[in-house]
Structure 1
Amino acid sequence: MSSQISRLLAVLLVACCFSAFGCTSEKQSRGTPASEASIVVTDLAGREVTIAQPVRRIVLMRSLCIYELATVLGDETAERLVAWDSSLKTGDRDTYDKFVERFPELKETKVLGDVLKDAVSAESVLALKPDLIIMNTYMQQRKSNGLQRLEDAGVPILYLKFDDPFQDPQKSIRLLGKVLGKEERAKEAADWVDAQLAEVLQRQESIQGAVPTVYIEAGTHGSGQYGNTFGSNEEGRVANWAGVMAQLRCKNIAAGVVSGLYGMGVIRPEYLFTQDPDAVVITGASWSAFPDSLRLGYFAEQQTASRTLRSFTERTGWKNLKAIQNEKLYGIHARFGSHITSFAAAQQISKWLYPNEFGDLRPGDNLRIFHEKFLPVQFSGTWMVGLPNE
């Protein structure tokens, strides 16, 4: 009996050992603790990036990408953002103020230098102990010493892309959703934007007749000085507003004529007059250093924006342009050209150019709906304007 009991105890002991081993293996198969887990993704520069989970401390090297980050993070935007550059504050002040109004703590968020001017201190970034650094692909193409030091330090760097305004922003937020634990939310937003764009692109296929010509200009300097127009970059690729125009049923008069850094350059007035476009579109925002700019955005007033837009008709020679004579002069928010809100550009420009075919679209209402569904800030202000006053 004693030997039987001994054998039974031995069997139980072995079973317990296997059971314990099995439990340990099961725990490991379910994943390591959250602080030690990691995922591997391919970013939009085609790089494999290993990122520890969860991502709690984010450095946003281009703060204008707050549109995409906030779409994914929603109310968690401010608590996860530990540093950003000054591009939002200087190049889209209304949006900066709107986010600070919603998240007052963003006033204290560390502001970095310009990575494109090699003004980012790698040491100051590393001191923040970031879990992730978010950049744009064009920054990789002009790699700075500071960026190289960050890569050498082993901090995960994730590249987003905005070359194709109708596809890349959605790809960017889907990638962010996967990395930031918000995959379902990101997919919902991207799918919604895709559907908005698809309606325009499909409907324009059935339009017959002449293709209207368009001149588009950044209204940074206001009417007193010509701003950049949008053609192609050094590699001959279109991006930003040139990418918008290339996919709509219109002809961008700067295409194949203007080229430069980021695909922008100033048009020759003589060429503009020779082309005599059917429509002129001025992009606007709230540029801190340019008080005469066409101001559009969260705190822009319709009457003021209309008055500024009308001042462009006073430029030398512009009253002779058929676009001006036919009151086809329009203003639209600059960030629609390369961000997740590009659907508003597609809808509004199509409606301006083809009022019969797209007259039922409500781009302003759709922009408001996007805010209500996906952004943590409330919709307000003036984002699009035309002559006569719309």
Structure 2
Amino acid sequence: MRITGKAAVLAMGLVVTAVWPALADKITVKDVTGREVEVNAPVKHMILGEGRQIYFLAALDKEAPFEHVVGWRDDLPKADPESYDAYLAKYPEIAKLPTFGGMKDGTFDIEQAVALKPDVILMNVDAKTATEEAGYIEKLGKVGIPLVYVDFREKPMENTEPSMRIMGKLMAKEALAEDFIKFRADSIKRVTDALHKANPPKPVVFVERAGGYSEDCCMSFGNENFGKMVEIAGGTNMAKDIIPGTFGTVNPEQIIASNPDQIIVTGGNWDKYVPGGAWVGVGYGADLKEARRKLEALTKRPAFTGVTAVADHNVHAIWHQFYNNPYQFVAIQEIAKWLHPELFADLDPEATFKELHARFLPLDYKPGYFVSLKDE
């Protein structure tokens, strides 16, 4: 969908007209970058700067999560096809939603965005540099479209709660947002309280980001995201002193020299990105037998030669998308159970995830998010 002629002039802000009813109230929200942004709320029409933002939107709108979405980025069917298919089956109208490219790759269509008349555009904070360099905030501001940054990826342990509160305010669902935040905090506390009391030794953990996605080895996490989750779950993130930011790479020699006690590989079904790839396809309703086979195959790579974790079968795979949504507390529980199986023998991360679905999410729960070489 593109617009030309007079509409294009309007879109770029050379002629400004009112495009929203005057019934909505103006509120001010502070986004995760500290910007104060005025928004007409409750938001009736929004554009999702990433399709996977439905993960947190759905948690605040269980009955009709797409009701106010007028456009979204086109990543969900490729990055998480099982979840997309499940949403599509329940909400077939999403097949007709206008889709966008990304701001970071320069394919976001600002004219299309203006034509859809959103009350707000939600953008992940990792797109901030590209957004500012392209002048999108100013261009959108000329036609009265605010842009709000949220973050569940760059610093999720710091920004998940503020991001959920922002969404609660935008959607006039503050109480529901607080319910979710409490459930998240209580779920993490079950891990941290037990660790504080028992104070067990901390195993060294190597987290491989998207193992098998490419032939290169090995992407990992610094002291945030899955790296931080490992620390909260009672482990020592091998790469925290090697990678200065959230994301980075370690070489095979560093893995062998560090000799991690545990290895965790993030995975998903990326057949639309890397058809037939070596990635481990965990996720919504995944085939865990096939996922386990692919996980074991990854241990044969040179980077894992002679590593204690491989010898002891302490090699696990976990759904990659936990790195980009507010459900990280489920991942923390599962990691804690892998790292300290005796201490957390009674902890049931799958039950936690089922409860999350039952209380907050539109989809029925399906297993498939975790697999381990320790599994029978």
TM-score by length of 2: 0.87
Aligned-partner SS, 2:175: helix
| Shift in CA distance, 222/367, structure 1 to aligned 2, threshold 3 Å | same
Are 1:289 and 2:273 matched, yes or no?
yes
Matches within 5 A, 1:53-68: 53-68=41-56
Aligned-partner SS, 1:52: strand
Structure 1, 296-305 or 203-212: larger mean CA deviation: 203-212
| Shift in CA distance, 242/317, structure 1 to aligned 2, threshold 3 Å | closer
| Shift in CA distance, 271/317, structure 1 to aligned 2, threshold 3 Å | closer
Are 1:360 and 2:350 matched, yes or no?
no
Are 1:303 and 2:294 matched, yes or no?
no
Matches within 5 A, 1:264-343: 264-287=247-270, 288-290=272-274, 291-292=276-277, 293-316=279-302, 318-343=304-329
Aligned-partner SS, 1:188: helix
Are 1:249 and 2:237 matched, yes or no?
no
> 1:21 maps to what in 2?
none
- Cα shift readout 1:332-358 (whole Å, capped 9, x = no counterpart): 111223421111111111111111111
CA contact (8 A) 1:60 1:83 kept: yes
Aligned-partner SS, 1:297: coil
CA contact (8 A) 1:165 1:243 kept: no
> 1:118 maps to what in 2?
106
Aligned-partner SS, 2:70: strand
Are 1:217 and 2:208 matched, yes or no?
yes
Find 2:121's aligned residue among 114, 133, 137. 133
Unaligned runs of 5+ in 1: 1-32, 232-237
How far 1:265 sits from its partner (Å)?
2.6
> 2:182 maps to what in 1?
191
Separation of aligned partners in 1, 2:133 and 2:143: 14
> 1:109 maps to what in 2?
97
> 1:230 maps to what in 2?
221
Find 2:161's aligned residue among 122, 147, 170. 170
How far 1:251 sits from its partner (Å)?
1.3
How far 1:114 sits from its partner (Å)?
1.0
Large movers: runs of 4+ above 4 Å:
222-225
Q: Which amino acid aligns with 1:187?
A: E
> 2:197 maps to what in 1?
206
Paired residues in the alignment total: 350
| Shift in CA distance, 158/223, structure 1 to aligned 2, threshold 3 Å | closer
Q: Over aligned residues, Cα RMSD in angstroms?
A: 2.0
| Shift in CA distance, 343/68, structure 1 to aligned 2, threshold 3 Å | same
How far 1:266 sits from its partner (Å)?
2.8
Find 1:51's aligned residue among 29, 39, 52. 39
Separation of aligned partners in 2, 1:102 and 1:329: 35
Aligned-partner SS, 1:41: strand
TM-score by length of 1: 0.84
Find 1:37's aligned residue among 25, 46, 50. 25
The higher radius of gyration belongs to: 1
Separation of aligned partners in 2, 1:310 and 1:151: 51
How far 1:259 sits from its partner (Å)?
4.4
Matches within 5 A, 1:338-349: 338-349=324-335
- Cα shift readout 1:243-276 (whole Å, capped 9, x = no counterpart): 323433211111121346xx32332111111111
Q: Which amino acid aligns with 1:295?
A: G
How far 1:209 sits from its partner (Å)?
4.6
CA contact (8 A) 2:191 2:336 kept: yes
